Amino acid sequence: MSKLNIVLFEPEIPANTGNIGRTCVATGTRLHLIEPLGFRLNEKSVKRAGMDYWEHLDVTRYINYEDFLAKNPGAKIYMASTKAPRCYTEVQYEPDCFIMFGKESAGIPEEILLENQETAVRIPMMSEIRSLNLGNSVAIVLYEALRQNQFSQMQLEGHLTKYDWK
């Protein structure tokens, strides 16, 4: 079964990673964390943001970017960055692709972006704004990738608890 993959390059804020972890559980997406992390994964703030979903998260840690590449050879990796030349809606996301986001303070290093310029994407925003919150950015791009893949294996219809829809 194919799964989308979210990659966080050296995340710094535990609450963002916790929220992203919860989003990954809710969407059946794998989470990949490239060290160094700006926090310990056992911190209360990570678990609080991920709530009781964290134990269900499919998460892999890597000691650095080179370790990530070595353990995922041939992976299609989209680089989400405010510096990217193309909008995130202008690409076709494969069912098992990786979407990488950089650390909160600096994003993905420019040398990595240059090596991957064909797959670098951005979320449009006003020029006066440096960036969106990392958790929001992940959700925006991830849900576009899920939409393009027909929300594969996701529940598409909600149900009321006390009533039936007419």
Specify binding-site residues. Answer: 102, 123, 131
Residue 121 tokens read as 């994407």
Strands 5-9 and 120-122: unpaired
Strand order in the sheet with 30-34: 59-62, 30-34, 5-9, 98-101, 77-80, 120-122, 86-87
Residue 161 tokens read as 């608890």
Residue ranges for the binding site for S-adenosyl-L-methionine?
A: 102, 123, 131
Query: Under 8 Å CB-to-CB from 161, ≥6 apart: which residues?
Result: none
60/25 Cα distance (integer angstroms):
13
Length of the chain counted residue by residue: 166
**144 secondary structure, DSSP code:** H
Residue 33 tokens read as 């964390």
Query: Under 8 Å CB-to-CB from 106, ≥6 apart: which residues?
Result: none
Residue 42: count other Cβ atoms within 10 Å of its Cβ.
8
